[in-house]
Amino acid sequence: EPEVTQTPSHQVTQMGQEVILRCVPISNHLYFYWYRQILGQKVEFLVSFYNNEISEKSEIFDDQFSVERPDGSNFTLKIRSTKLEDSAMYFCASNRDRGVHEQFFGPGTRLTVL
Amino acid sequence: DQQVKQNSPSLSVQEGRISILNCDYTNSMFDYFLWYKKYPAEGPTFLISISSIKDKNEDGRFTVFLNKSAKHLSLHIVPSQPGDSAVYFCAASSQYSTSGTYKYIFGTGTRLKVLA
């Protein structure tokens, strides 16, 4: 069964460094998302992406964040200058069709900012 | 601003009995609701959903009930099995989307433990 994959599974970085989290959505999916979950808290929406454009973003998704679909298969989340409070589990998700609500989530990347 | 709340952080149920997980929401614009299950070190997995035009949706052992006037939904699992032990999140969204993408607002989750 096709699945969303994410790399790396765990990323440790120093505060102020740039990180890129990578996701490979399910191949025929057209709509892509990033969510994050700070330890012990709820899963929070960051951004949605369709047709090479951001569709919607939350207040969390400020100028330090960017997303890209560089090559038709990968979907990346870049954090330009990481802060301690960016430490969280980051989940990528995708879905196929307009009108289909169900999103398929990847296993997540745990980001630790020291 | 907790638009979606799961007030029970944990629940323990004996195997074979019914598990009832609850979720409340405050935003009347939400009209589509989903339940996701999450095991440790994995991403959330879709379980079942319900549109606001229905008050019940059933899929095998899982049934979701929606009470729009109370802004409340519940997930019933019967019979509960040890493999159901996981964290359950409810999520809400609006059916209306100009872009085709749907932003989920998640609850804080309920950790279900099914005792053998």
Which domains does chain A possess? 5-113 (2.60.40.10)
Structural domain boundaries enclosing B88: 4-115
Task: Tell me which of B104, B105, B111 to substitute to probe the interface with A (most A C-beta atoms closer than 10 Å).
Answer: B104
Is the pLDDT score of B108 beyond 80?
Answer: yes
CA distances B43 to A18, A35, A36, A49, Å, are: 24, 11, 11, 19
Determine the 3-state secondary structure of A54 from DSSP: strand
CA distance B69 to B92: 16
Question: How many domains, in total, are found in chain B?
Answer: 1
Q: Locate tokens 């960017």: which residue?
A: A66
The whole-number pLDDT of residue A72 equals 78
CATH number at residue B82: 2.60.40.10
Question: What b/e readout covers B60-99, taking b as 16+ CB neighbours within 10 angstroms?
Answer: eebbbbbeeeebebbbbbeebeeebbbbbbbbbbeeebeb
Mean local confidence (pLDDT), A23-39: 93
- Considering only CB atoms, B34 lies closest to which of A30, A101, A107, namely A101
pLDDT band at residue B58, thresholds of 50, 70 and 90?
A: very high
Which is more confidently placed, B41 or A93?
A93
Determine the 3-state secondary structure of B40 from DSSP: coil
